[in-house]
Amino acid sequence: MGLPDRQPAEEFADQMAAHQGRLESFIRAVTGDADAARDILQDTNVVLLRKSRDYRPGTNFAAWAFRVARFEILSWRRRAGRSRLTFDDELVERMAGSAQGQDELYLRRVEVLRDCLSRLPERQREVIRLRYLEDWSVADLARKTGENANAISQLLFRARQNLFHAMQAALEAEEKPSKTA
Amino acid sequence: MNASFRPDSEADDPRLHWLAQQGAEGLLDGREARELSEWLARSESARHIFAGYCQLLVALECEPWLEEAMMEPDWPENVVPLPGVAMGRLEMPAPASSAGAVGQGLNSWRRMAAVAAIAVLTGLLIGGATGWPFRSDRVGSERQPSSIVTAGMLSAGMPGAFPKGPGEPGSPITLASLGDEPRPLLASQCVQCHRF
């Protein structure tokens, strides 16, 4: 049995994998609902795969994927009960504009994240590792360290805030030479 | 996109950062969600900060190379404290074994890539010479590629398919293998008609 050219399939799979983080963070920012964002990402992936024959290598995968994601967000909002929605329609539109405007920053943020993590104090880095890599909840962390949950929450808050500011500073520092050039 | 934004007077408000983090984690109650919504509606800086935390948390949860980097025993080689932050180690017992951590390391988009590749190749096998990869216009065909793709994704635990299980630190994660999951599905749904 003859098979069609596999190259488009491979490129499509690469593009799918490469855009998962960008899509999930976009959906999360627009919906304000982390659990729903995972469901919507799944729906978006299914639609992308179903329509994969329409994809042409070299075309703008991101623009296409984000259009599908926005449609899936609207579809989810119509299905979800009003009490489930975190943001109203107007705010969803504003957040979509803001989050898509920041989309290109995702890869740059990821690039500087390792360095920013390495600069965190060990205690903060450790709590980030256990929370996100080992998937421990705040309650798990509190139980296993003997500290109270509020102290752990504060430690996580400071760690994430330090990471955010360090990443922001790194990105702005990257831009300065190009602005002066 | 310019990384820098014009922060307004509220951009450094710890309350905004707290709400943005909790919102990105999906941990806000109703009153806090309304408070964050009001902030986002009136302040571009707030929207920038919230979208930034969403990107940060998604990267921490899912980026595979980051997980690998943090698992390196001697990483980082040089710890440079950030200004104004006290140093100190979080005292806690080490995880029971490294197997769970390795398993978590696999819970990443590399798995997604593998699953997507399996799904697309499955589509290639099903579609055959008639089109790439999921033609739905074949006369007389009862196959439903999207359901196969979805089943493949779900069976492999693609990120986004299932939320991480709370209270399951270090739980082992199994990867889908072609023999265990897609092949019986193909055998029962496809081979009888297509005979490849």
Q: Which pair of structure tokens corresponds to residue A114?
A: 């390792």
The ranges assigned to domains in chain B are: 14-62, 99-194
Q: Do B127 and A4 touch (CB under 8 A)?
A: yes
Tens digits of residue pLDDT in A88-141: 999 999 999 999 888 889 999 999 998 999 899 999 999 999 999 889 999 999
Q: Find, in chain A, the residue whose alpha carbon is nearest to that of B125.
A: A3
Chain A contact for B179, CB < 8 A? no
Q: Do B47 and A45 touch (CB under 8 A)?
A: no
Same topology between domain A7-101 and domain A108-180: no
Chain A contact for B103, CB < 8 A? no
DSSP per residue over B23-87, as a string?
HHHT---HHHHHHHHHHHHH-HHHHHHHHHHHHHHHHHHH-HHHHHHHH-TT--SS--PPTT---
Residue B9's pLDDT band (boundaries 50, 70, 90)?
confident
Fold designation for A7-101: Rna Polymerase Sigma Factor; Chain: A (1.10.1740)
Q: Do A4 and B149 touch (CB under 8 A)?
A: no
Three-state DSSP at A35 gives helix
Cβ atoms of A30 and A95 closer than 8 Å: yes
ipTM: 0.90
Residues of A in contact with B106 (CB under 8 A): none
B111/B108 Cα distance (integer angstroms) = 6
Q: Which of A145, A155, A60 is nearest to A104 (CA)?
A: A60
Q: Do A25 and B54 touch (CB under 8 A)?
A: yes
Tens digits of residue pLDDT in B15-71: 999 999 999 999 999 899 999 999 999 999 999 999 999 999 999 998 877 777 776
Does pTM top 0.80 for this prediction? no
Q: Do A141 and B92 touch (CB under 8 A)?
A: yes
- Domain A108-180, CATH among 3.30.300.30, 1.10.10.10, 3.30.750.24, 3.40.50.720: 1.10.10.10
The ranges assigned to domains in chain A are: 7-101, 108-180
